[in-house]
Structure 1
Amino acid sequence: MQATEFLFPRSRYRGQFTPKNLMFNANLQEFSQRVSYICSLETNGKMEPDEAYQKIAALWSHLSNSKANLGIDTSPPEE
């Protein structure tokens, strides 16, 4: 197992499959994992709260841009 696989594990995607959904899911999992690490660093005094906030805000912006670029729709599917 490589270090990146250990540090950033990926779960299987079980939603409605489209390439866009799969890519966004991968981005969402990476966001979640990185936020978890930042929170742990801040909680243990290894990172200042303002720095943690700025890093999480940057990650959120990147995730939002990813969603917009992939054209992921937020409205519920029509029946």
Structure 2
Amino acid sequence: MTARAGVAAADPVAETIVSYAGALGWELEATKLSLWLTLLAVVFFEVGAASSLIVVAALSDAPAVRSRLMT
């Protein structure tokens, strides 16, 4: 995928979603959608990491581990 000067190249996933959205009658821009998809991935991993810490704290018997994770 090559980009011309002044034109940002979107990722293929964003291009595919834009084409499906166009078939449904929605107008989207692939470059803006690409930024939102990146943000969605980051939020997904952050929530997953926080959830794992909550599970570890809930299942841990050692108070030292629990206090260290909760601060």
TM-score, with normalisation over the residues of structure 2? 0.43
Normalized per residue, which structure has more helix? 2
TM-score, with normalisation over the residues of structure 1? 0.39
Larger Rg: 2
